[in-house]
């Protein structure tokens, strides 16, 4: 019925887990109907009185998920169906925004971001980043539906500018968790979100990568959840070769301790039954968790290199990159079929069931015709 996490525990649909499920689904099943049922369930009913899953950031991920869903499938009828609930939930968020444009936790709100120690005093950086992204995506959805957005596009722009002003630390050359505590605490999670979703300059992105991602003094990420985002930063920073090492060391060591599915949280430093403990209980950890399945997406996006560049793959690119692999072969599901890619050190072979593709090898590009194999010697 839905993309579920914590299957053995709570059988809930969790919004941020779902957001990552969309990326994995895109490269594995491409099941539009499961996505839609899950997003409907998360949106709930009116009146909307509490954040989705009671977690502030999960409300923002819901808007981001709806935008990603449309980009992938181009289903305007679904957006029309969801629009009244989107309006209701966005109104809820705006009403809880403070006069300075930042959104802070209220009674009953869970300020999460990740299972990590961070300075959550006042307005947490990551929450503001996701809020701005949610408003921006909501505004884009309004434009798809040819509805007028009176305020969200401008609010998103103003909030992004305020984040860059308040949270960027000129001395540390990265983003801090909170400007209100004056502790200037730095965590990977908030900087990763800034790298991915803020209009940072290229120089700021280089600083984030050098001063945070490669900085062993910054506490390491212990959830596959944020490994997903950190691995994207590796790839987008031009350090894609680190992907194999990250997958091998993190997921490989999970396999080495006997995992047959993907854990909700994994710390290589744990021993024995410590690997199964969570929430203060010995065996409470979910051992089959969708937010941990990101290698499916990462290999499809950054190794097979298939990427939707339009709406519903009306245009797409194929940029095979071996990284530290000798060869790779796979199929990526797309509307009306698959895109097949096989690459080794000498040859790239592509076959697509749909038109609109472009193969890139180095500085050269090749049109990919539907139902016609394309084989290029490097």
pLDDT in tens, the chain (378 residues): 899 876 767 778 999 999 999 999 999 999 999 999 999 999 999 999 999 999 999 999 999 999 999 999 999 999 999 999 999 999 999 999 999 999 999 999 999 999 999 999 999 999 999 999 999 999 999 999 999 887 999 999 999 999 999 999 999 999 999 999 999 999 999 999 999 999 999 999 999 999 999 999 999 998 889 999 999 999 999 999 889 988 999 899 999 999 998 898 999 899 999 999 998 999 989 898 888 899 999 999 999 999 999 999 999 999 999 999 999 999 999 999 999 999 999 999 999 999 999 999 999 999 999 999 999 999
d(CA 168, CA 165): 6
Best CA proximity match to 291, nearest among 145, 168, 112, 127: 112
Whether the ω angle into residue 47 lies within 30 degrees of 0, i.e. cis, is yes
d(CA 275, CA 255): 12
Best CA proximity match to 331, nearest among 354, 363, 362, 361: 354
Range 12-41 burial, b when 16+ CB lie within 10 A, else e:
ebbbbbbbbbbbbbbbeebebebbbebbee
Q: What 8-state DSSP symbol labels residue 370?
A: B
């Amino acid at each position: 019925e839905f993309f579920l996490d914590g299957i053995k525990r709570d059988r809930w649909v969790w919004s941020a887990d779902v957001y990552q499920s969309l990326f994995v689904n895109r490269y594995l099943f491409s099941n539009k109907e499961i996505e839609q049922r899950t997003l409907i369930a998360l949106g709930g009913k009116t009146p909307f009185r509490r954040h989705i899953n009671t977690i502030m950031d999960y409300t923002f991920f819901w808007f981001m998920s709806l935008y990603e869903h449309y980009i992938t499938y181009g289903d305007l009828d679904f957006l029309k169906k969801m629009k009244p609930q989107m309006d209701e939930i966005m109104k809820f968020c705006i009403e809880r925004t403070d006069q300075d444009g930042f959104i802070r936790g209220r009674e009953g709100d869970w300020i999460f971001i990740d299972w990590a120690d961070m300075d959550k005093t006042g307005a947490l950086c990551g929450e503001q980043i996701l809020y701005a992204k949610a408003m921006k995506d909501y505004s884009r959805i309004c434009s798809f539906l040819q509805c007028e957005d009176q305020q969200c596009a401008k609010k998103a722009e103003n909030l992004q500018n305020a984040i860059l002003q308040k949270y960027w630390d000129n001395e540390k050359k990265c983003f801090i968790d909170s400007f209100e505590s004056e502790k200037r605490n730095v965590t990977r999670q908030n900087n990763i979100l800034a790298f991915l979703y803020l209009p940072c300059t290229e120089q700021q992105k280089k600083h984030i990568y050098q001063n945070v991602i490669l900085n062993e003094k910054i506490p390491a990420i212990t959830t596959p959840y944020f490994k997903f985002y950190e691995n994207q930063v590796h790839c987008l920073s031009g350090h894609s070769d680190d992907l194999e090492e990250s997958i091998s060391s993190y997921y490989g060591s999970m396999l080495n301790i006997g995992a047959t599915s993907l854990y909700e949280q994994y710390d290589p430093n744990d021993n024995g039954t410590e690997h199964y403990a969570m929430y203060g209980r010995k065996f409470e950890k979910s051992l089959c968790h969708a937010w941990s399945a990101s290698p499916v997406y990462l290999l499809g996006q950054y190794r097979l290199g298939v990427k939707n560049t339009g709406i519903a793959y009306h245009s797409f690119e194929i940029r095979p990159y071996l990284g530290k692999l000798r060869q790779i072969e796979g199929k990526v599901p797309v509307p009306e079929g698959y895109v097949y890619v096989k690459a080794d050190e000498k040859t790239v072979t592509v076959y697509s069931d749909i038109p609109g593709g472009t193969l890139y090898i180095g500085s050269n590009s090749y049109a990919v015709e539907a139902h016609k194999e394309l084989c290029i010697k490097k």
